[in-house]
Protein backbone atom coordinates (compact mmCIF):
# COMPACT_ATOMS: atom_id res chain seq x y z
CA UNK A 1 0.00 0.00 0.00
CA UNK A 2 1.47 3.30 -1.13
CA UNK A 3 0.88 6.12 1.36
CA UNK A 4 1.33 9.77 0.62
CA UNK A 5 3.75 11.90 2.61
CA UNK A 6 0.87 13.46 4.54
CA UNK A 7 -0.55 10.05 5.41
CA UNK A 8 2.82 8.76 6.58
CA UNK A 9 3.44 11.85 8.71
CA UNK A 10 -0.08 11.61 10.15
CA UNK A 11 0.42 7.94 11.06
CA UNK A 12 3.73 8.67 12.79
CA UNK A 13 2.23 11.64 14.62
CA UNK A 14 -0.78 9.58 15.78
CA UNK A 15 1.48 6.80 17.10
CA UNK A 16 3.70 9.26 18.98
CA UNK A 17 0.67 11.09 20.38
CA UNK A 18 -0.92 7.88 21.66
CA UNK A 19 2.38 6.77 23.21
CA UNK A 20 2.82 10.13 24.94
CA UNK A 21 -0.76 10.10 26.23
CA UNK A 22 -0.32 6.57 27.57
CA UNK A 23 2.91 7.52 29.32
CA UNK A 24 1.31 10.68 30.70
CA UNK A 25 -1.66 8.72 32.06
CA UNK A 26 0.66 6.19 33.72
CA UNK A 27 2.79 8.94 35.24
CA UNK A 28 -0.28 10.79 36.51
CA UNK A 29 -1.73 7.70 38.16
CA UNK A 30 1.65 6.84 39.68
CA UNK A 31 2.18 10.41 40.87
CA UNK A 32 -1.24 10.47 42.52
CA UNK A 33 -0.52 7.16 44.24
CA UNK A 34 2.87 8.36 45.53
CA UNK A 35 1.33 11.61 46.73
CA UNK A 36 -1.36 9.70 48.63
CA UNK A 37 1.27 7.49 50.25
CA UNK A 38 3.33 10.49 51.29
CA UNK A 39 0.32 12.23 52.82
CA UNK A 40 -0.89 9.12 54.67
CA UNK A 41 2.56 8.35 56.07
CA UNK A 42 3.12 11.96 57.07
CA UNK A 43 -0.20 12.11 58.94
CA UNK A 44 0.25 8.73 60.65
CA UNK A 45 3.98 8.81 61.25
CA UNK A 46 3.56 8.87 65.04
CA UNK A 47 0.87 6.17 65.21
CA UNK A 48 3.25 3.34 66.13
CA UNK A 49 4.88 5.44 68.87
CA UNK A 50 1.43 6.27 70.26
CA UNK A 51 0.47 2.58 70.34
CA UNK A 52 3.74 1.66 72.04
CA UNK A 53 3.39 4.43 74.61
CA UNK A 54 -0.25 4.03 75.53
CA UNK A 55 -0.99 0.38 74.95
CA UNK A 56 1.99 -1.94 75.24
CA UNK A 57 4.10 -0.12 77.83
CA UNK A 58 1.13 0.37 80.12
CA UNK A 59 0.68 -3.36 80.47
CA UNK A 60 3.65 -5.73 80.26
CA UNK A 61 1.21 -8.65 79.93
CA UNK A 62 0.20 -7.20 76.54
CA UNK A 63 3.34 -8.77 75.12
CA UNK A 64 1.66 -12.17 75.44
CA UNK A 65 0.73 -13.39 71.93
CA UNK A 66 -2.95 -13.83 72.82
CA UNK A 67 -3.14 -10.39 74.39
CA UNK A 68 -1.30 -8.89 71.43
CA UNK A 69 -3.80 -10.38 68.97
CA UNK A 70 -6.72 -9.01 70.99
CA UNK A 71 -5.11 -5.57 71.28
CA UNK A 72 -4.19 -5.36 67.61
CA UNK A 73 -7.67 -6.50 66.64
CA UNK A 74 -9.18 -3.68 68.68
CA UNK A 75 -6.85 -1.13 67.06
CA UNK A 76 -7.73 -2.38 63.58
CA UNK A 77 -11.44 -2.11 64.35
CA UNK A 78 -10.92 1.58 65.11
CA UNK A 79 -8.99 2.05 61.83
CA UNK A 80 -9.64 -0.86 59.41
CA UNK A 81 -7.05 0.37 56.92
CA UNK A 82 -4.09 -0.31 59.27
CA UNK A 83 -2.41 -3.59 60.18
CA UNK A 84 -0.39 -3.74 63.40
CA UNK A 85 2.60 -6.03 64.03
CA UNK A 86 5.11 -6.54 66.84
CA UNK A 87 8.68 -7.18 65.65
CA UNK A 88 11.72 -8.36 67.57
CA UNK A 89 15.16 -6.80 67.20
CA UNK A 90 15.87 -8.82 64.04
CA UNK A 91 12.60 -7.99 62.30
CA UNK A 92 10.86 -11.30 63.00
CA UNK A 93 7.12 -10.95 63.58
CA UNK A 94 6.22 -11.81 67.19
CA UNK A 95 2.61 -10.66 67.26
CA UNK A 96 -0.17 -9.86 64.79
CA UNK A 97 -3.92 -10.16 64.16
CA UNK A 98 -3.85 -11.34 60.56
CA UNK A 99 -6.50 -13.93 59.59
CA UNK A 100 -5.27 -17.48 59.13
CA UNK A 101 -3.37 -17.89 55.87
CA UNK A 102 -2.99 -14.14 55.22
CA UNK A 103 0.47 -13.75 56.77
CA UNK A 104 2.99 -14.51 54.00
CA UNK A 105 6.25 -13.25 55.54
CA UNK A 106 7.53 -14.12 58.99
CA UNK A 107 9.93 -11.19 59.16
CA UNK A 108 10.30 -7.59 57.96
CA UNK A 109 13.36 -5.82 56.59
CA UNK A 110 14.47 -3.36 59.27
CA UNK A 111 16.41 -1.03 56.96
CA UNK A 112 13.30 0.98 55.96
CA UNK A 113 12.13 0.92 59.60
CA UNK A 114 15.35 2.50 60.81
CA UNK A 115 15.29 4.98 57.91
CA UNK A 116 11.81 6.18 58.92
CA UNK A 117 12.74 6.39 62.61
CA UNK A 118 15.83 8.43 61.67
CA UNK A 119 13.66 10.93 59.78
CA UNK A 120 14.07 9.75 56.20
CA UNK A 121 12.31 11.52 53.34
CA UNK A 122 8.73 10.38 52.76
CA UNK A 123 7.37 8.16 51.47
CA UNK A 124 9.42 5.30 52.97
CA UNK A 125 8.17 1.92 51.80
CA UNK A 126 8.55 -1.20 53.90
CA UNK A 127 7.71 -4.88 53.56
CA UNK A 128 4.06 -5.91 53.62
CA UNK A 129 3.84 -9.08 55.76
CA UNK A 130 0.68 -10.12 53.88
CA UNK A 131 2.43 -10.13 50.49
CA UNK A 132 5.55 -11.81 49.16
CA UNK A 133 6.65 -8.79 47.11
CA UNK A 134 4.55 -5.71 47.96
CA UNK A 135 6.01 -2.72 49.80
CA UNK A 136 3.81 -0.17 51.56
CA UNK A 137 3.97 2.94 53.68
CA UNK A 138 4.10 2.27 57.40
CA UNK A 139 4.62 3.72 60.84
CA UNK A 140 7.23 2.27 63.17
CA UNK A 141 8.61 2.93 66.62
CA UNK A 142 11.13 1.16 68.90
CA UNK A 143 10.00 -0.33 72.23
CA UNK A 144 11.86 -0.05 75.49
CA UNK A 145 11.32 -3.78 76.00
CA UNK A 146 13.12 -4.37 72.70
CA UNK A 147 11.75 -4.76 69.24
CA UNK A 148 9.47 -2.49 67.25
CA UNK A 149 5.84 -1.64 66.67
CA UNK A 150 5.25 -1.88 62.91
CA UNK A 151 2.01 -0.52 61.47
CA UNK A 152 1.15 -0.96 57.79
CA UNK A 153 -0.93 2.11 57.03
CA UNK A 154 -2.59 0.97 53.81
CA UNK A 155 -3.51 -2.66 54.41
CA UNK A 156 -5.67 -5.18 52.59
CA UNK A 157 -8.95 -3.45 53.42
CA UNK A 158 -7.62 -0.14 52.08
CA UNK A 159 -6.39 -1.84 48.90
CA UNK A 160 -9.80 -3.39 48.20
CA UNK A 161 -11.65 -0.10 48.69
CA UNK A 162 -9.03 1.82 46.71
CA UNK A 163 -9.27 -0.67 43.82
CA UNK A 164 -13.05 -0.27 43.70
CA UNK A 165 -12.80 3.52 43.83
CA UNK A 166 -10.15 3.53 41.11
CA UNK A 167 -12.23 1.32 38.84
CA UNK A 168 -15.33 3.43 39.40
CA UNK A 169 -14.01 6.98 39.20
CA UNK A 170 -10.39 8.06 39.26
CA UNK A 171 -8.91 5.81 36.58
CA UNK A 172 -11.93 6.18 34.34
CA UNK A 173 -11.81 9.97 34.63
CA UNK A 174 -8.09 10.00 33.91
CA UNK A 175 -8.45 7.76 30.87
CA UNK A 176 -11.37 9.79 29.51
CA UNK A 177 -9.38 12.99 29.96
CA UNK A 178 -6.34 11.55 28.23
CA UNK A 179 -8.52 10.14 25.45
CA UNK A 180 -10.13 13.54 24.86
CA UNK A 181 -6.75 15.27 24.81
CA UNK A 182 -5.41 12.63 22.41
CA UNK A 183 -8.40 13.00 20.08
CA UNK A 184 -8.19 16.79 20.00
CA UNK A 185 -4.43 16.68 19.54
CA UNK A 186 -4.78 14.14 16.73
CA UNK A 187 -7.36 16.25 14.88
CA UNK A 188 -5.27 19.39 15.32
CA UNK A 189 -2.13 17.57 14.15
CA UNK A 190 -3.81 16.14 11.06
CA UNK A 191 -5.18 19.56 10.09
CA UNK A 192 -1.76 21.14 10.66
CA UNK A 193 -0.01 18.49 8.54
CA UNK A 194 -2.57 18.95 5.76
CA UNK A 195 -2.00 22.72 5.74
CA UNK A 196 1.77 22.47 5.97
CA UNK A 197 2.11 19.90 3.21
CA UNK A 198 -0.43 21.50 0.83
CA UNK A 199 2.25 23.53 -1.07
CA UNK A 200 4.39 20.41 -1.29
CA UNK A 201 1.47 18.41 -2.68
CA UNK A 202 0.83 21.12 -5.28
CA UNK A 203 4.49 21.15 -6.25
CA UNK A 204 4.49 17.36 -6.52
CA UNK A 205 1.41 17.44 -8.74
CA UNK A 206 2.96 20.14 -10.96
CA UNK A 207 6.16 18.10 -11.31
CA UNK A 208 4.16 15.03 -12.26
CA UNK A 209 2.26 17.00 -14.88
CA UNK A 210 5.52 18.45 -16.20
CA UNK A 211 7.12 15.03 -16.37
CA UNK A 212 4.06 13.64 -18.11
CA UNK A 213 4.10 16.48 -20.68
CA UNK A 214 7.83 16.11 -21.23
CA UNK A 215 7.42 12.40 -21.78
CA UNK A 216 4.70 12.99 -24.36
CA UNK A 217 6.82 15.60 -26.16
CA UNK A 218 9.79 13.26 -26.18
CA UNK A 219 7.71 10.42 -27.61
CA UNK A 220 6.28 12.78 -30.24
CA UNK A 221 9.76 14.00 -31.19
CA UNK A 222 11.04 10.43 -31.54
CA UNK A 223 8.06 9.52 -33.67
CA UNK A 224 8.70 12.48 -35.96
CA UNK A 225 12.36 11.46 -36.34
CA UNK A 226 11.35 7.91 -37.19
CA UNK A 227 8.84 9.19 -39.75
CA UNK A 228 11.44 11.53 -41.25
CA UNK A 229 13.95 8.71 -41.49
CA UNK A 230 11.38 6.50 -43.18
CA UNK A 231 10.52 9.16 -45.76
CA UNK A 232 14.18 9.79 -46.38
CA UNK A 233 14.81 6.14 -47.09
CA UNK A 234 11.76 6.04 -49.38
CA UNK A 235 12.85 9.03 -51.53
CA UNK A 236 16.55 8.20 -51.81
CA UNK A 237 16.17 5.64 -54.64
CA UNK A 238 13.90 7.97 -56.62
CA UNK A 239 16.44 10.78 -56.27
CA UNK A 240 19.22 8.58 -57.59
CA UNK A 241 17.18 7.54 -60.67
CA UNK A 242 16.25 11.18 -61.30
CA UNK A 243 19.90 12.22 -61.30
CA UNK A 244 20.82 9.45 -63.74
CA UNK A 245 17.96 10.40 -66.02
CA UNK A 246 19.05 14.07 -65.94
CA UNK A 247 22.59 13.17 -66.91
CA UNK A 248 21.45 11.12 -69.89
CA UNK A 249 19.23 13.94 -71.07
CA UNK A 250 22.16 16.34 -70.94
CA UNK A 251 24.32 13.96 -72.92
CA UNK A 252 21.86 13.87 -75.78
Across the range 208-231, mean pLDDT stands at 66
CA distances (Å), origin 90, targets 45, 103, 113: 21, 18, 11
Query: How many angstroms separate the CA atoms of 40 and 172, rounded?
Result: 23
Residue 91 scores a pLDDT above 60: yes
Residue 67, pLDDT score: 65
Is residue 93 situated within a structural domain? yes
Task: Assign 42 a pLDDT band (cuts: 50, 70, 90).
Answer: very high
Across the range 234-240, mean pLDDT stands at 55
Is residue 97 situated within a structural domain? yes
We report the CATH number of the domain holding residue 106 as: 3.30.450
Residue 2 scores a pLDDT above 80: no
Is residue 141 situated within a structural domain? yes
This prediction has a pTM of: 0.64
Residue 109 scores a pLDDT above 90: yes
Q: How many domains does the chain have?
A: 1
Is residue 199 situated within a structural domain? no
Residue 61, pLDDT score: 47
Handedness of CA 194, 196, 202, 205 (dihedral sign): negative
Q: 77 lies in which domain range? A: 45-152
Residue 102 scores a pLDDT above 80: yes
Amino acid sequence: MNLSLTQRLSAVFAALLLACCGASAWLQVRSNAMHEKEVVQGLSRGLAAYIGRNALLADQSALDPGALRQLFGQLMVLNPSVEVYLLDDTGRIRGHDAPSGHLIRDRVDLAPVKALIDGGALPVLGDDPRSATARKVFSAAPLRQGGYIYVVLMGETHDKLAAQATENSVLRTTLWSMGLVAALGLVAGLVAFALITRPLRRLTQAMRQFNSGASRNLRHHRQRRRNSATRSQHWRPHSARWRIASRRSGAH
